Structure 1
Amino acid sequence: MPQRRSHVAPSAAQTELAAALAELRVSLDAPTEFPAAVLAEAEAAVAPEPDLDLRDIPFATLDPVGSRDLDQAFHLERRGSGYTVHYAIADVPSFVVAGGEIDAEARRRGQTLYAADGTIPLHPKVLSEGRASLLPDVDRPALVWTFSIDAAGSVEDFRLERALIRSRAQLDYATVQAALDRGEDGPAALLPEIGALRVEQEKLRGGASLNLPDEEVVRTPDGGYAIDRRHPLPVEEWNAHLSLMTGMAAASLMLDARIGILRTMPQPDEKSFDAFRHQTEALGRPWTSGRYGDYLRNLDRTDPMTLPVLEAAASLFRGAGYVTFDGTVPSDAEQAAIAAPYAHATAPLRRLVDRWSLSICLAASEGRDIPSWARESLSELPALMQESGQRASRLDSATINCVEAALITPLVGQTVDATVIEIRGERASVQLATPAVTASAPLPEGAAPGDVVRLRVLSADITRGEIEFAL
């Protein structure tokens, strides 16, 4: 699916949009600035130097272009018929004092928020984009996972160690994908090979990936806003499987230690499966047999009906949450889409819960007692992460709605073509081609998913993020 961009140029609508986005921050209690005490503690924060020195390993990072909060760095090498993967994670636990000012503010924020008019970070930037970030050509403390993988992509063994590392290159997805397509050598040369094997392991486990197109509001050079919609590059999926592998390893460490926090999701029930089958039949791409993960993986990404199918499949990926345990292993330990126990443990600069996961995993791997601060506050995490997740979801959806209303403003009173994506009672989710806007509209009689319908734009309220259509 090619990238599609719709642009809101500087204008009266853009001015109204900027005001709406600023007001959105206020309504969500999502301040960009940190209290003075938090900033002072961050300026003074220094992590102790690790005993283990792994600076001879040429790590590299792989992120969206321009990123500064670099949580992960990798190094891939062949090992006989298999592979060794070194996966370094920013050592945030060594910089944040439990019970301190940074800790308290991070618990209030929960996660980094990505707003259209700027990032709202979890930690002060002196840490998240500075001393704790795995930036290139500087020494950094890190929590390094080392995996031994066999020729089929299965993990034979792994270990976790605190070490001093030095990243050699900051890579971005588009550049790396282009280099891989040309067959060039480089730090990510083995990523397609290892990534494909890990995808195959997901199939064998019975896992499923949704891989919906990314939808992001971005600033443009002329000061306006744009919505970028694109399908993730293959290199992004391969890279994500390194993180998934690490999250599964973290879950196994915590389960063995009988203490930790898992990211869980229930298996869809038969009612959900039946509804999804009916939707695929209506879309002309019926799921008739096999596991739903295999069906989704085999969809043709160039088929215009794939997006409506993926939108419908989102109903199968609901109910994700966090489960904590101390002493007794939970009975609902599995993340159904991954088809294995899983933990968030690879993004501590941007997500609160990862600091607990990593601290518990490191103590367990070294045979030490679990830090008392982590054990005592463990039960608080699900509520903190749920609250921050809801805030992030509201910010994302409201931002998209406001920008889409601004995009539609010049078309008020005109007639437009739209493709029906999903039917919801007497209304439908529709996709306009130009501008690339997704909205709710009344459903013409007899219309089905995939049909193109004619709609009149009645109104567009930028402040409320609402668009009204008529047949």
Structure 2
Amino acid sequence: MELHQRIVSAPVDFGAIRSEFGLASDYPAEAVSEARDAVDAFAGTRVDRTDIEFVTIDPPSAMDLDQALHIARTPTGFTLHYAITDLGAVIVPGGVLARESEARGQTFYLPDGNVPLHPTVLSEGTASLLPGVDRPAALWTIELDDKAVPQSFSVTRALVRSRERFDYAQVQAAADTGTLHPSLVALPEFGRLRIEAGLDQGAISLRLPAQDVVRHGDNWRLELEPRTAADDWNEQVSLLTGMCAARIMLAHNGTRIGLLRTMPPPAESAIASMRRTATALGVSWPAEMPVGRLLAGLDANTPAGLVLMSEATSLLRGAGYTMLGDLDQPTEDQLTHSAIGAPYAHVTAPLRRLADRFTTEVCLALCAGTEVPQWVVDGLGTAAETLRRTDSVAGKVDRACVDLTEATVLAPRIGTEFSALVLREANGSRPAEIFVADPPILGRCEGRPPEGEHVSVRLAVADVATRTIAFEYNGHAGH
């Protein structure tokens, strides 16, 4: 299935979504002043690692750079250095800035601009790991064997300097031409090995087409978000660091201080349903093959691949934040993130996510053999609750922005016929789900079209006020 698109754009006002969800982007002046005057509480005591040639990999327009990496091949495997912005050193506990960020929870991303967790003078300025400047960081050092399995890991406070900033397309192009920056030459091999290790431990990864709202002149249009192998390799660096952080917390579980990102295992009924779908689509799925292995081997550009990946979203439900202090005798399932196949903690995005500042402090203290700061002990539970709340809001905001753009772009085309792939058949009162490639739309369709088939559908509803669209089944494509 080719996913080519014509350019279809329209003016879209996202202001109503900001108002609906109470997203106030203006920071209190006192908090901005505190951010502007922030200083490193650990200046003069850090390990100087400005000798390491760190680089960053982020979207092209990003300025809140909170991760920098350097990975090298060694005679026995790999050494990964991963520098994370050390916000715990520059935000005063109990101050106005701390209170405001703890109320916001995370950065909200809208097509016309972000609603930041921290004032941009900090998140895009003095705390951002921009190239050519020294920055305080929490420096992770992870030694791995030749299969990229971690053998030792720790985190300490350091002074670092990034040398270059890249985006994913640049890294992918350099990998394709053999011109990767020396700090990234080992990244492709590392990434492939870590992906394989994840599959061995039951990881589940989906590669569904992701809708993205992008500016087109004065208007907005829908595109399929590009996903390169470089995205996947870089993701593995963050996932590995989060798994190491979880292991540090669990190894010191006597302290009962820690916060994990968890997800329960998929329901057996959901896997059984996927097996029935695979059989109906003619996809071979050996009984001993884990679902993650099946999905990894599917081609997302085929109808069968898209249908099965769409259904697999039902496997990845119930993600949450688990306080170690809330568990007396935890089971493995209570501690594990099933999509990753291991215990995992958020520690790599403190500029954009509240919990990372707290969990990083826990890991720094445990690795140094010191007491976890009291502000972390007192605030960790509240930070977890704030993230639970704001995660839900962030998901709704993302969906609302896409829905509004879909409805606006399609409003002039009511009655138009489109070619679509049926991702899920109708079930009871639930309509079928379809994917239209041009423009890229994931929508509902009335009329019971057959799952996994290319069909013709007619746009019946495109209501900007309610941000809803709906299609009606016309018949098989070409009929």
TM-score range, shorter chain: over 0.9
Give the drift of 1:3: 6.8
The aligned residue for residue 403 of structure 1 is: 405
- Residues of 2 paired with 1:3 and 1:135: CA distance? 35
Give the drift of 1:263: 0.6
SS at 1:146 equivalent: strand
Moved more, 448-457 or 394-403: 448-457
Matches within 5 A, 1:319-330: 319-326=318-325, 328=328, 330=330
Among 407, 423, 432, the alignment partner of 1:428 is 432
- Residues of 1 paired with 2:419 and 2:341: CA distance? 40
SS at 2:124 equivalent: helix
SS at 2:324 equivalent: strand
Structure 1's unaligned 5+ residue stretches are: none
The aligned residue for residue 318 of structure 1 is: 317
SS at 2:440 equivalent: coil
Question: Contact 2:222/2:439 (CA < 8 Å) preserved in 1?
Answer: no
Percent identity among equivalent residues? 38
SS at 2:460 equivalent: strand
Q: Deviations over 1:13-43 (max 9, x none)?
A: x2xx31xx21111010111111112111111
Question: Contact 1:402/1:462 (CA < 8 Å) preserved in 2?
Answer: yes
Give the drift of 1:185: 3.7
Q: Deviations over 1:310-347 (max 9, x none)?
A: 11101111111011023956331111121111100100
Question: Contact 2:362/2:372 (CA < 8 Å) preserved in 1?
Answer: yes
Among 40, 43, 48, the alignment partner of 2:36 is 43
Among 359, 366, 369, the alignment partner of 2:368 is 366
Pair 1:437 & 2:435 matched: no
Question: Contact 1:432/1:438 (CA < 8 Å) preserved in 2?
Answer: yes
The aligned residue for residue 196 of structure 1 is: 192
Give the drift of 1:138: 0.5
Question: Contact 1:265/1:336 (CA < 8 Å) preserved in 2?
Answer: yes
Structure 2's unaligned 5+ residue stretches are: 474-479
Question: Contact 1:4/1:229 (CA < 8 Å) preserved in 2?
Answer: no
Question: Contact 1:38/1:101 (CA < 8 Å) preserved in 2?
Answer: yes
Query: Aligned in 2, Cα 1:366/1:428: closer, same or farther, shift over 3 Å?
Result: same
Letter in 2 for 1:23: A
Query: Aligned in 2, Cα 1:99/1:424: closer, same or farther, shift over 3 Å?
Result: farther
SS at 2:418 equivalent: strand
Letter in 2 for 1:202: G
SS at 1:448 equivalent: coil
- Residues of 2 paired with 1:6 and 1:255: CA distance? 51
Pair 1:136 & 2:131 matched: yes
The aligned residue for residue 340 of structure 1 is: 342
- Residues of 2 paired with 1:183 and 1:272: CA distance? 42
The aligned residue for residue 105 of structure 2 is: 110
Moved more, 148-157 or 277-286: 277-286
The aligned residue for residue 259 of structure 2 is: 261
SS at 1:335 equivalent: coil
SS at 1:235 equivalent: helix
The aligned residue for residue 96 of structure 2 is: 101
Give the drift of 1:144: 0.5
Query: Aligned in 2, Cα 1:73/1:4: closer, same or farther, shift over 3 Å?
Result: farther
Query: Aligned in 2, Cα 1:277/1:296: closer, same or farther, shift over 3 Å?
Result: same
The aligned residue for residue 201 of structure 2 is: 205
- Residues of 2 paired with 1:436 and 1:213: CA distance? 9
Query: Aligned in 2, Cα 1:168/1:2: closer, same or farther, shift over 3 Å?
Result: farther
Question: Contact 1:250/1:343 (CA < 8 Å) preserved in 2?
Answer: yes
Moved more, 228-237 or 150-159: 228-237
**CA RMSD, Structure 1 to Structure 2 (Å):** 1.8
Letter in 1 for 2:315: L
Letter in 2 for 1:193: E
Pair 1:252 & 2:247 matched: yes
- Residues of 1 paired with 2:6 and 2:260: CA distance? 38
Give the drift of 1:300: 2.0
Pair 1:376 & 2:399 matched: no
Query: Aligned in 2, Cα 1:223/1:72: closer, same or farther, shift over 3 Å?
Result: same
The aligned residue for residue 462 of structure 1 is: 464
Question: Contact 1:6/1:228 (CA < 8 Å) preserved in 2?
Answer: no
Among 205, 215, 237, the alignment partner of 1:242 is 237
Question: Contact 2:8/2:439 (CA < 8 Å) preserved in 1?
Answer: no
Moved more, 416-425 or 139-148: 416-425
Give the drift of 1:152: 1.3
How many correspondences in the alignment? 461
Question: Contact 2:211/2:225 (CA < 8 Å) preserved in 1?
Answer: yes
The aligned residue for residue 297 of structure 1 is: 296
Q: Deviations over 1:116-141 (max 9, x none)?
A: 21111111101111111111000000
The aligned residue for residue 226 of structure 1 is: 221
SS at 1:305 equivalent: helix
- Residues of 2 paired with 1:37 and 1:356: CA distance? 23
Query: Aligned in 2, Cα 1:328/1:306: closer, same or farther, shift over 3 Å?
Result: same
Q: Deviations over 1:214-255 (max 9, x none)?
A: 3221212x1111222145211111111111110011101111
Query: Aligned in 2, Cα 1:361/1:424: closer, same or farther, shift over 3 Å?
Result: farther
- Residues of 2 paired with 1:239 and 1:398: CA distance? 28
Question: Contact 2:422/2:435 (CA < 8 Å) preserved in 1?
Answer: yes
Moved more, 282-291 or 430-439: 282-291
- Residues of 2 paired with 1:361 and 1:6: CA distance? 49
Letter in 2 for 1:261: L
SS at 1:240 equivalent: helix
Query: Aligned in 2, Cα 1:7/1:35: closer, same or farther, shift over 3 Å?
Result: farther
The aligned residue for residue 476 of structure 2 is: none
Question: Contact 1:4/1:228 (CA < 8 Å) preserved in 2?
Answer: no
SS at 1:84 equivalent: strand
Letter in 1 for 2:398: D
- Residues of 2 paired with 1:377 and 1:84: CA distance? 33
Instruction: Compute the TM-score of the two structures, normalised by the length of structure 2.
Output: 0.92
Give the drift of 1:365: 0.6
- Residues of 2 paired with 1:351 and 1:277: CA distance? 37
Give the drift of 1:415: 2.6
Question: Contact 1:4/1:230 (CA < 8 Å) preserved in 2?
Answer: no
- Residues of 2 paired with 1:425 and 1:3: CA distance? 27
Query: Aligned in 2, Cα 1:329/1:92: closer, same or farther, shift over 3 Å?
Result: farther
Give the drift of 1:101: 1.2
Pair 1:55 & 2:50 matched: yes
Moved more, 120-129 or 273-282: 273-282
Question: Contact 2:102/2:386 (CA < 8 Å) preserved in 1?
Answer: yes
